[in-house]
């Protein structure tokens, strides 16, 4: 093939060129995958994640120095008796070169997504997220000028901040919960020129997150035997599996897929329950007392109600292919693991990353980890305390406020349409 990459549907096997395609044109219920012409990864002399540009669905790159950083742990490794522990950190930690200023690995998704859309389709991205994803896309917008429409619950709007000013973010707050925001975001995408970011279906998001596996493997010189991550949607777990498969096919870093150890935070652990029950769908009994459980978890970025679990190429397939395990982690275990990490490694963690550390502590205690083998710990977020000391913080100001269940019509629709038109004028200027 002459293209750098094609998209391939694991449902029907068809391959086709990328037009910012999120779904199989034949309608298969499957996650599309990228197939890159280059089977071997050659790290480029580019900043941040664009070092791994060969295996990102983009043609050019962004001049952003915000990628994952990997190092061999000393302190935590000694504490756990693991001589081969690689930490891959996404967040703000300038001493080690960590420059994701919104402090989570969602920046790995936002950067290639913004560029892929610019190159392969064009338009305004729509994102519904009250947490790390929303912040990462606002930051990517501020850094690149890419226009985004972000829809969030009003109560969570204060989590949207950036470390540089943003002029191309249209923030819509919804007086309702996260599900109301997702529903309203869907309505907003009916406006011509607005494109959904696509979540796990977006290959740029997955391949961006897959750079954690690439970076950790290159730092260690070989693929890990075990990969640890806390999951909400599980997109990062799928991405790790896909990236590891590419590394195995390339042949230089080992021939065995790492076992995926994926964790969720009690009491909201739908994927752990579905896994233990051997189910290919998440059902109501996997999410008892949904609202109350979600309200009680420490790491609320892990509370996705509709993860891509049973879909072809989804989280369940990733776990099955790699011989993985799932852990349900209690709040107090996550908190103490977070303290252990900050005491031994000297950086503060996102609560979700603390859940992953807790699962590693458990797996070691339970004897699942052979200390002669290599572990990759995906520290998906951290450095908030450092970032608060060092960096400016710009709150993203709401553009419009709507009620839960409000229809996207009349003045609100006109206002967003006019905003999109202004972006198009500005882009041509
Ligand atoms: C989103 C997020 C996760 C979970 O990621 P998924 O792979 O999408 O489930 C874990 N940690 C942090 C810090 C996150 O922001
Ligand atoms: Zn298909």
- Choose which CATH entry (3.90.1150.10, 3.40.50.300, 3.40.190.10, 3.40.50.1100) describes domain 69-101+204-387: 3.40.50.1100
- 282-287's contacts with Cβ under 8 Å and 24+ in sequence apart are 282/306, 282/307, 282/309, 282/310
Q: Which residues contact 27 (CB under 8 A, 6 or more apart)?
A: none
Ligand nearest to the CA of 357: 1
Query: What is the rounded CA–CA span in Å between residue 259 and residue 322?
Result: 5
Query: What is the rounded CA–CA span in Å between residue 272 and residue 275?
Result: 5
Q: What is the mean pLDDT of residues 24-45?
A: 96
Task: Give tens-digit pLDDT for 401-429.
Answer: 999 889 999 999 999 999 999 988 877 77
| Helix, strand, or coil (residue 375) | strand
pLDDT number for residue 44: 96
Residues in contact with ligand 1 by the CB-under-6-Å rule are 104, 106, 132, 230-237, 301-302, 350, 352-353, 380-381
| Protein residue with its CA nearest to atom 5 in ligand 1 | 231
Q: Which residues contact 38 (CB under 8 A, 6 or more apart)?
A: 4, 54, 55
Closest ligand 1 atom, residue 351 Cα: 13
| Helix, strand, or coil (residue 161) | strand
Task: Give tens-digit pLDDT for 260-302.
Answer: 999 999 999 999 999 999 999 999 999 999 989 999 999 989 9
Centroid of ligand 2 to alpha carbon of 31 (angstroms): 9
Domain(s) of CATH 3.40.50.1100: residues in the chain: 69-101+204-387, 107-202+392-428
For the chain, report the end-to-end CA distance as a whole number of angstroms. Answer: 36
Question: What percentage of the chain carries pLDDT values higher than 70?
Answer: 100
Which ranges of 310-396 would DSSP assign to H, the alpha helix?
Answer: 315-322, 331-345, 351-365, 384-390
pLDDT number for residue 131: 85
Residues with CB under 5 A from ligand 2 (ion): 9, 11-12, 24, 26, 28
pLDDT tier, 53 (very low <50, low <70, confident <90, very high otherwise):
very high
Global pTM value:
0.97
Centroid of ligand 2 to alpha carbon of 34 (angstroms): 13
Place of tokens 């109350």: 292
Query: What is the rounded CA–CA span in Å between residue 224 and residue 216?
Result: 8
pLDDT at 155 over 70: yes
pLDDT tier, 8 (very low <50, low <70, confident <90, very high otherwise):
very high
Ligand nearest to the CA of 311: 2
pLDDT at 177 over 90: no
**pLDDT, averaged across the chain:** 96
What is the fold, at CATH topology level, of the domain defined by 107-202+392-428?
Rossmann fold (3.40.50)
Looking at the DSSP assignment, which residues form a beta bridge with residue 394?
Answer: 162
Cβ count near 201 (within 10 Å): 19
Task: Give tens-digit pLDDT for 191-243.
Answer: 999 999 999 999 999 999 999 999 999 999 999 999 999 999 999 999 999 99
Ligand nearest to the CA of 210: 1
Query: What is the rounded CA–CA span in Å between residue 72 and residue 374?
Result: 11
Centroid of ligand 2 to alpha carbon of 235 (angstroms): 20
Q: Which residues contact 409 (CB under 8 A, 6 or more apart)?
A: none
Closest ligand 1 atom, residue 229 Cα: 10
pLDDT at 93 over 90: yes
pLDDT tier, 179 (very low <50, low <70, confident <90, very high otherwise):
confident
pLDDT at 2 over 80: no
Out of 102, 132, 298, give the residue to mutate to test ligand 1, the one with the largest number of ligand atoms within 8 Å of its CB: 132
Q: What is the mean pLDDT of residues 71-81?
A: 98
Out of 206, 243, 352, 353, give the residue to mutate to test ligand 1, the one with the largest number of ligand atoms within 8 Å of its CB: 352
Centroid of ligand 1 to alpha carbon of 379 (angstroms): 10
pLDDT number for residue 335: 98
pLDDT number for residue 121: 85
pLDDT number for residue 174: 94
Q: Respond yes or no on whether the N-terminal peptide bond of residue 267 is cis (omega within 30° of 0).
A: yes
pLDDT number for residue 246: 97
| Helix, strand, or coil (residue 189) | coil
pLDDT at 1 over 60: no
Closest ligand 1 atom, residue 304 Cα: 9
Nearest 10 degrees: Cα torsion 223, 378, 297, 348: 160
Task: Give tens-digit pLDDT for 366-403.
Answer: 999 999 999 999 999 999 999 999 999 999 999 999 99
Ligand nearest to the CA of 21: 2
Of 117, 107, 190, the C-alpha closest to 413 is 190
Of 286, 283, 282, 287, the C-alpha closest to 316 is 282
Query: What is the rounded CA–CA span in Å between residue 166 and residue 390?
Result: 19
Ligand nearest to the CA of 16: 2
Out of 88, 104, 338, give the residue to mutate to test ligand 1, the one with the largest number of ligand atoms within 8 Å of its CB: 104
Closest ligand 1 atom, residue 209 Cα: 7
């Amino acid at each position: 093939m002459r293209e750098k990459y094609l998209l391939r549907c694991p449902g029907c096997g068809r391959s086709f060129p990328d037009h910012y395609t999120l779904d199989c044109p034949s309608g298969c219920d499957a996650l599309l995958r990228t197939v890159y012409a280059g089977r071997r990864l050659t790290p480029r002399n580019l900043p941040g994640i664009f070092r791994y540009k060969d295996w990102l669905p983009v043609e050019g790159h962004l001049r952003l120095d915000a990628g994952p950083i990997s190092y061999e742990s000393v302190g935590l490794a000694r504490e756990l008796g693991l001589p081969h522990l690689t930490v891959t950190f996404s967040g703000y930690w300038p001493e080690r070169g960590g420059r994701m200023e919104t402090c989570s690995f969602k920046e790995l998704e936002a950067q290639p997504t913004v560029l892929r859309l610019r190159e392969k389709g064009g338009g305004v991205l729509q994102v519904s997220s009250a947490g790390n994803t929303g912040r990462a896309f606002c930051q990517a917008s501020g850094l690149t000028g890419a226009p985004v429409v972000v829809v969030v619950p009003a109560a969570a709007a204060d989590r949207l901040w950036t470390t540089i000013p943003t002029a191309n973010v249209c923030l819509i707050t919804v007086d309702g919960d996260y599900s109301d925001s997702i529903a309203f975001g869907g309505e907003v995408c009916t406006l011509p020129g607005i494109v959904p970011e696509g979540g796990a279906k977006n290959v740029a998001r997955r391949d961006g997150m897959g750079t954690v596996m690439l970076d950790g493997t290159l730092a260690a010189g070989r693929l890990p035997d075990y990969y640890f991550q806390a999951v909400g949607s599980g997109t990062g777990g799928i991405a790790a599996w896909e990236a590891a498969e590419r590394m195995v096919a390339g042949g230089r870093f080992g021939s065995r897929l790492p076992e995926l150890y994926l964790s969720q935070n009690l009491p909201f652990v739908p994927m752990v329950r579905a896994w233990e029950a051997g189910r290919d769908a998440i059902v109501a009994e996997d999410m008892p007392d949904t609202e109350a459980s979600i309200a009680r978890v420490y790491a609320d970025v892990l509370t996705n109600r509709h993860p891509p679990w049973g879909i072809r190429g989804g989280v369940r397939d990733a776990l099955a292919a790699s011989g993985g395990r799932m852990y349900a982690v209690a709040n107090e275990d996550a908190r103490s693991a977070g303290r252990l990490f900050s005491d031994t490694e000297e950086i503060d963690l996102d609560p979700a990353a603390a859940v992953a550390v807790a699962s590693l502590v458990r797996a070691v205690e339970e004897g699942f980890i052979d200390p002669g083998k290599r572990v990759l710990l995906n520290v998906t977020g951290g450095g908030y305390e450092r970032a608060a000391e060092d960096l400016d913080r710009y709150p993203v100001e709401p553009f419009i406020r709507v009620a839960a269940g409000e229809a996207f019509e009349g003045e609100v629709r006109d206002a967003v349409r006019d905003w999109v038109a202004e972006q198009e004028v500005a882009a041509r200027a």
